Amino acid sequence: MSIKIALAGNPNTGKTTLFNALTGTSQYVGNWPGVTVEKKGGTLKGHRDVEIMDLPGVYSLSPYTLEEVVARNYLVTERPDAILNIIDGTNLERNLYLTTQLMELGIPVVAAVNMMDVVRKNGDKLDTKKLSDTLGCPVTEISAIKGEGVMEAAEKAVEAAGKAAVPPPHRFNGTVEHALAHIEELVLHNLPETQQRWYAVKLFERDEKVIQQLALAPDKIAHIEGDIKACEDELDDDAESIITAERYNWIGSIIGKCCRRRSQGKLTVSDKIDQIVTNRILALPIFVIVMGLVYAISMGGWAISIGTAATDWANDVLFGEWVPGLFDTILGAAGIAEESWLYGLIQDGIVAGVGAVLGFVPQMLVLFLLLCILEDVGYMARIAFIMDRIFRRFGLSGKSFIPMLVATGCGVPGIMASRTIEQDRDRKMTIMTTGFMPCGAKMPIVGLFAGALFGGSWLVATSAYFIGIAAVIISGVMLKKFKMFAGEPAPFVMELPAYHVPNPSNVLRGTWERGWSFIKRAGTVILLSSIVLWFLQGYGFVDGVFGAVEDNNDSILAAIGNAAAWIFYPLGWKGDMAWKATVASVTGLIAKENVVDTFGVLYHYAGDIDLIEDSTPLWSMVAADFSAITAYSFMIFNLLCAPCFAAMGAIKREMNNTKWTLGAIGYMCGFAYAAAMVVYQIGGLITGEAAFSVFTVIAFALLLGLIYLVFRPYRESTASRLNERSVARA
Amino acid sequence: MLAYIAAHMGYIVVTLILVLTVAAVIFGMVKDHKTGSSGCGCGCKGCANAPYCHPYCHPQKDAEASKLT
């Protein structure tokens, strides 16, 4: 690679969309700020010698967040040949703040004003020629989402890469310039001239990282401090604020010259929608209705529930008739007898197990499609904003909800996403609670029980989502009252992207990639698990002799399951289903899809029903073993208990501490157990299914304990509210 | 011996295919694990949320993260 071009800009300005358009790659494009948390490289289409680097979105080059560290380190230490600065044309003022800093790096900059289609639609006018003259760098108009002007912008950046950087046109107040000149002369004269200004400004701002990097002697630092102090005294402000204000003053003057806004002061369509969608009273009911609709369409039993209709077909026809029929033909042609172990392994183990999981792919795809549309439209970012209000009440910020949104796809990236939370206690609490969200792998469990016992009711799937959120909130309220988690939440600042029509390629790509992960796991982990499960439930000791068993209640798996089933007795897992439910919950730790896989193998093998002849044997057999209340208890336990091993590994990596890891997993299991026990014992008492026993007393005690912990006064927050009131009175 | 093989050719071929499939799956999973390219058993390439896991796929991010703290 001979030319390196960095894509830099504010969060959610379309850098990754532009990156994909320029390189032909398909990196994940999300419609909330902070999707890209690390740099990614690619080759410019038609220019094999040009490398494009997509940097995380940043508002400034101050090292406050992980994204800013990544972007700044790359720009300052690796120094690309040119910077293609993506500017959101609908919000020039804030975007140009970063541009003024990029211009000081001594690297050629090309400004690409994105979302020009929206600017024109709003009736605003932008004179890019004048903007270019004022900024002193080429300025080009683009629409990354429509692919307009993107290659021209890249060509300009390639052209600029061969030229020397233009000195930044912006000059600060005379006093500041004097101090900067002094700093340059004192400690920066050995650096290339083009780089001196950026370092001087950063030293003026007392940037600790830069002071460390330059390894300045204490006497020089003291000298610089004297200059800064004199400047601060004269301008009656702190150094960082002086620089910020000066930059914004200059930007204001540029915008006055180059931009005419017809929509100035008017509410945009997004603003008008947000008045309803993020309304203090309406926001939550709208959120519940939206998510209810999402789960109803993907997993409900309505006429519009296309996910369920497709899954029914996949279960009944594809994996109920066609696939077993196909294998039957192939195995028959190969001369493999139906009574042989090989036939059993393939049909009763692999086809039944993997098929049981793959049968839910249509529901998953519809669910992922709807979630991707909500994300691309811009609604998911609003949910984080809405949840911030609720989360803040118990000491977590809306930033903690971003990992939870991600976790609805897969828990592992959800847990990883928590590392963007700066406060250690909030990060730990987010890691502990993110696993409560129903990830894609848990949804087949919901689909199975909703179909088998609740007539495909949309309420079951929707309740799974809100049980996850409720578990997060209840845990947050309780944990914040313990010393190790106490403290005020970090401020959450998030720019809400403008609503737009979903981009079909983004939505379809996101849906397919999430769905493909699900399918790939079925072909790897689930396939291996099916084989092991088939063996363990098909073989055992009968009358002291090891061999294939007629009834899988005599199998090795049944023996193992029965040995541990007593643990779950208070949850209502009794009788023949007890060991099956126990084994399914344990195998679910390998991968959550394994729960359905296990039922697929166990019920297929145990049944007299032939898959090929009866279209829905799994559902009917599950329905025969479980009651509505035990099914719900089982579902709640498996939704809330320890996540899969991969997610546990992610918890271990992020916690970086064995005690915290075990604590987090133990807490999740304990919470899940308590919740499932309360549901079965109290629910069973009401329905008459469970008799009053010592476990009922324990369940009531747990419920009361939970209520006490939730409503126990929170000293810090009380103190904080009192302080706020006293400040308000003052 | 040959007669036995000929009589059980179907069993041998299907078993062989099954063993090779399982071996390929295990090999792929071990390879993913060793290269650190997968945090959840499905690989980063096809994952929509890979940017969130990339610290695991690309250890240099850990170094950058540690600089922050």
Task: Collect all residues with Cβ–Cβ distance below 8 Å to A280 and sequence separation of at least 6.
Answer: A389
Inter-chain residue contact A69 with B42, CB threshold 8 Å: no
The closest CB to that of B39, out of A35, A36, A650, belongs to: A650
Q: Is A318 helix (H, G, I), strand (E, B) or coil?
A: helix
pLDDT at A573 over 90: yes
Q: What pLDDT is attached to residue A609?
A: 44
How confident is residue A423, by pLDDT bands cut at 50, 70 and 90? confident
Sign of CA dihedral A249, A250, A256, A262: negative
| Range with top average pLDDT, A19-28, A190-199, A703-712, B12-21 | B12-21
How confident is residue A196, by pLDDT bands cut at 50, 70 and 90? very high
Q: Which CATH number fits domain A3-161: 3.40.50.300, 2.30.40.10, 3.30.70.100, 3.40.50.720?
A: 3.40.50.300
- How many angstroms separate the CA of residue A331 from the nearest CA in chain B? 8
Chain A's closest residue to B42, CA to CA, is A517
**Cβ neighbours of B51 in A, within 8 Å:** 27-28, 35-38, 40, 413
Q: What pLDDT is attached to residue A145?
A: 83
Q: What pLDDT is attached to residue B66?
A: 43
The closest CB to that of A521, out of B42, B48, B67, belongs to: B42
Inter-chain residue contact A66 with B47, CB threshold 8 Å: no
Inter-chain residue contact B53 with A413, CB threshold 8 Å: yes
Q: What pLDDT is attached to residue A149?
A: 92
Chain A's closest residue to B28, CA to CA, is A524
Inter-chain residue contact B51 with A525, CB threshold 8 Å: no
**Cβ neighbours of B54 in A, within 8 Å:** 37-38
Chain A's closest residue to B53, CA to CA, is A413
Inter-chain residue contact A342 with B14, CB threshold 8 Å: yes
The structural domains of chain A, with segments of one domain joined by +, span 3-161, 174-235, 284-711
How confident is residue A727, by pLDDT bands cut at 50, 70 and 90? very low
Question: What architecture is domain A174-235?
Answer: Orthogonal Bundle (1.10)
- How many angstroms separate the CA of residue B35 from the nearest CA in chain A? 15
Percentage of chain A exceeding pLDDT 70: 93
Beta bridge partners of residue A53, listed in sequence order: A6, A41
Interface mutation vs chain B, best among A415, A427, A520, most B CBs within 10 Å: A520
Inter-chain residue contact B41 with A35, CB threshold 8 Å: no
How would DSSP label each residue in A194-206?
Answer: HHHHHHHHHHHTT
Inter-chain residue contact A27 with B51, CB threshold 8 Å: yes
Q: What whole-number distance in Å separates Cα of residue A116 and Cα of residue A114? A: 5
pLDDT at A54 over 90: no
Q: What pLDDT is attached to residue A425?
A: 86
> DSSP state, A408?
T
pLDDT in tens, A378-409: 898 898 888 888 888 777 778 888 888 888 88
How confident is residue A113, by pLDDT bands cut at 50, 70 and 90? very high
How confident is residue A541, by pLDDT bands cut at 50, 70 and 90? very high
Chain A's closest residue to B67, CA to CA, is A69
A485 vs A701, more confident = A701
- How many angstroms separate the CA of residue A180 from the nearest CA in chain B? 27
Sign of CA dihedral A460, A463, A464, A467: negative
Inter-chain residue contact B41 with A516, CB threshold 8 Å: no
pLDDT in tens, A582-592: 999 999 999 89
Inter-chain residue contact B64 with A70, CB threshold 8 Å: yes
pLDDT at A725 over 60: no
**Cβ neighbours of B49 in A, within 8 Å:** 28, 406, 409-410, 413-414, 417, 514
pLDDT at A578 over 60: yes
> DSSP state, A65?
S
How confident is residue A710, by pLDDT bands cut at 50, 70 and 90? confident
Q: Tell me the pLDDT of chain A averaged across its residues.
A: 88
If you average pLDDT over residues A595-621, what whole number do you get? 68
Chain B's closest residue to A643, CA to CA, is B40
**Cβ neighbours of B50 in A, within 8 Å:** 28, 413
pLDDT at A581 over 50: yes
Inter-chain residue contact B11 with A417, CB threshold 8 Å: no
Q: How far, in Å, are A223, A534, A554, B18, B19 from residue A538 at the CA level?
A: 81, 6, 9, 18, 19
- How many angstroms separate the CA of residue A179 from the nearest CA in chain B? 29
The closest CB to that of B41, out of A334, A335, A524, belongs to: A524
Token representation of residue A118: 């929206």
Contact between residue A695 and residue A681 where contact means Cβ atoms under 8 Å apart: yes
pLDDT at A662 over 90: yes
A718 vs A415, more confident = A415
Q: What whole-number distance in Å separates Cα of residue A525 and Cα of residue A509? A: 24
If you average pLDDT over residues A284-300, what whole number do you get? 93
How confident is residue A105, by pLDDT bands cut at 50, 70 and 90? very high
Q: What pLDDT is attached to residue A86?
A: 96
Q: How many CB pairs under 8 A join A and B?
A: 131
Q: What whole-number distance in Å separates Cα of residue A175 and Cα of residue A235? A: 8
Q: Is A292 helix (H, G, I), strand (E, B) or coil?
A: helix
The closest CB to that of A412, out of B15, B40, B65, belongs to: B40
Inter-chain residue contact A416 with B39, CB threshold 8 Å: yes
Contact between residue A90 and residue A263 where contact means Cβ atoms under 8 Å apart: no
Q: What pLDDT is attached to residue B29?
A: 85
Alpha-helix residue ranges (DSSP H) falling in A278-410: 283-299, 306-313, 323-333, 341-343, 352-358, 361-377, 379-393, 401-407
How confident is residue A678, by pLDDT bands cut at 50, 70 and 90? very high
pLDDT in tens, A640-661: 999 998 899 889 988 889 999 9
Contact between residue A464 and residue A635 where contact means Cβ atoms under 8 Å apart: yes
Chain B's closest residue to A531, CA to CA, is B22
Q: What pLDDT is attached to residue A31?
A: 57
**Cβ neighbours of B48 in A, within 8 Å:** 28, 409, 509-510, 513-514, 517
pLDDT in tens, A120-175: 888 888 999 999 999 999 999 999 888 889 999 999 999 999 888 888 888 998 99
Task: Collect all residues with Cβ–Cβ distance below 8 Å to A183 and sequence separation of at least 6.
Answer: A200, A203, A204, A224, A227
Chain B's closest residue to A332, CA to CA, is B10
Provide the domain limits for residue B37: 2-68
pLDDT in tens, B22-63: 999 999 888 877 776 666 656 665 566 666 665 444 444 444
Q: Is B51 touching A (CB cutoff 8 A)? A: yes
Q: Is B37 touching A (CB cutoff 8 A)? A: no
Chain B's closest residue to A527, CA to CA, is B22
pLDDT in tens, A228-282: 999 999 999 999 999 999 999 999 999 988 888 876 677 888 899 999 999 989 9
Q: What pLDDT is attached to residue A715?
A: 62
CA triple A46-A48-A52, angle to 5 deg: 90
Q: What whole-number distance in Å separates Cα of residue A159 and Cα of residue A457? A: 60
The ipTM is 0.80
Q: What whole-number distance in Å separates Cα of residue A679 and Cα of residue A681? A: 6
pLDDT in tens, A343-352: 999 999 999 9
Instruction: Provide the domain count of chain B.
Output: 1
pLDDT at A687 over 80: yes
Indicate if A174-235 has the same CATH topology as A3-161: no
Q: What pLDDT is attached to residue A701?
A: 97
- A10 CA to centre of own chain: 20
Percentage of chain A exceeding pLDDT 90: 55
pLDDT in tens, A34-45: 555 567 788 999
A262 vs A634, more confident = A634
